[in-house]
Structure 1
């Protein structure tokens, strides 16, 4: 009984998510994801570069609050983008949206 309920729950969840998400988002192909992944990579690079620059500027001294805020802002941007791409990946994995197959656009 419990397993059947869980199977029905998953089916219902997939149906509801697909009914809501699929009409709202375009059908994507792998190449459509390149700009998203590039954006995340740039945000990651900005975050890491800011950390290295901060260390270079401060040496062994404690950074200023302003400098830490700048690092924090870059982390927020990076983490938000990572979370969003992970959400998109979940949507694709669970088939809540249509995807293009092959290299066709």
Structure 2
């Protein structure tokens, strides 16, 4: 029984890889690190904006809790940052699992 389970899990993994590659690879050209730099830069800028806003709120709060507007702005910046991070992680996973082609510089 365990051998059959292991075999099935391997087949599932192969099917996932093949199906994802079939859909993702044609949508995105073969990648190099320089192709990924704009995405990496974008995520870094979003992180910087989020952290900068946090420090600005803390600096201007004079020991008080921030108001609703400040929290709403921070929330929006965090949502943007987290979404971009998740996108970058999905891209890394696609490269790691060979859903995308990678080329030398």
- TM-score normalized by structure 1? 0.94
Match of 1:24 in 2: 27
Q: Are 2:67 and 1:43 equivalent residues in the alignment?
A: no
Unaligned runs of 5+ in 1: none
Q: Considering only aligned residues, what root-mean-square deviation do their CA atoms show, in Å?
A: 0.7
What are the superposed Cα offsets for residues 9-59 of structure 1, whole Å, 9 maximum, x if unpaired? 111111100111111112110111111111111111100000000011112
Where does residue 67 of structure 2 map in the other structure? 64
Normalized against structure 2, the TM-score is what? 0.94
- Deviation of 1:97 (Å): 1.1
- 1:80-95 matches, within 5 Å, as 80-95=83-98
Counterpart CA distance in 1 for 2:12 and 2:65 is: 52
Superposed structure 1 runs of 4+ greater than 6 Å apart: none
Structure 2 unaligned runs (5+)? none
Write 1 or 2 for the structure with the bigger share of helix.
2
